[in-house]
Amino acid sequence: MNNLKERQEVIEYSIKLNTTNLSPLRSGNISVRGIEDGIEGFFITPSGKKYETLKPEDIVFLSLSEEKDFLSWFNSGKNPSSEWRFHQDIYKNKRTAHAIVHTHSPHASAVSSHGKSIPAFHYMIALAGGDDIKCAKYATFGTRELSQNIINALEKRKACLMSNHGQVAFGYNLKQAFELAQEVENICQQYIIALKLGKPKILSFAEMEKILDKVKNYKSG
């Protein structure tokens, strides 16, 4: 089978979505950039399958230009995650994105239900690439509108919340993307706790600029 390494890696991290409680059951999806038969694209989890049952042949390869509606996918023998479109658009718009992790993690999903960005109440916000973590506007899952909203929220950033939905993070590899998703979940949990005590102090833009410079190579491996 072609690209066995990439397919197995997608399965490995998909299972971690469940074991780390970043996404329960079949929720969330994972992909990694790759090339198959000379065509640039990405390998993504299939729709509706439990992660622990996945086999390498279940992982779907899509090119960066491939577009079909659900019935056409079904008839073609491919069954990619219903969220394939925003994975495709992130890869097309972010050359540094080599892996994407989308989760319905509990605290990130809870914070996303308010439809607001997370301000710099903690310096670790910088790991997502900016002085806040944006929240993409709500749109129905799997739509072009949602994909565009995510691209907007990811401007100069590597992760964002998705309103009334969850979060998405990308990285140079799956390990990096997965760890960023874990960091975002942890930040959201801390933010919920901080809000219980009142309005948290927000770090200044000048301070966050210094932090952003310091974390450029943080967890780069």
Tell me the C-alpha distance between 181 and 161, whole Å: 10
Sheet holding 99-103, edge to edge: 60-63, 39-44, 29-36, 99-103, 166-171, 159-162, 135-136
Q: Which of 2, 19, 170 is nearest to 86 (CA)?
A: 170
Question: What letter would DSSP give residue 168?
Answer: E
* Averaged confidence pLDDT in the chain: 92
pTM of the model: 0.93
pLDDT at residue 142 tops 70? yes
**pLDDT bucket at 19, cuts 50 / 70 / 90:** very high
3 band by pLDDT with thresholds 50, 70 and 90: confident
Give the domains, in start order, of the chain with CATH numbers.
Answer: 4-214 (3.40.225.10)
What percent of the chain has a predicted confidence (pLDDT) above 90?
A: 80
- Catalytic site residues? 83
Q: What is the arithmetic mean of pLDDT over 123-130?
A: 96
Percent of the chain past pLDDT 70, that is, above it, reads 93
pLDDT category at 199 given cuts 50, 70, 90 is: very high
| Structure tokens that stand for 143 in this block | 């739509």
Residue 125 near residue 64, CB atoms below 8 Å = no
> Angle at the Cα of 22 (from 42 to 153), degrees rounded to 5?
60
Q: Which two tokens stand for residue 19?
A: 């074991």
Token pair listed for 149: 């909203």
pLDDT digits (tens, 9 = 90+) for 80-109: 998 999 999 999 999 999 999 999 999 999
Q: Which residue has the higher pLDDT, 220 or 185?
A: 185
pLDDT tens digits, 52-71: 999 999 999 999 987 766 56
Phi, psi of 52, rounded to the nearest 5 degrees: -70, -10
Helices (H), 77-128: 84-93, 106-112
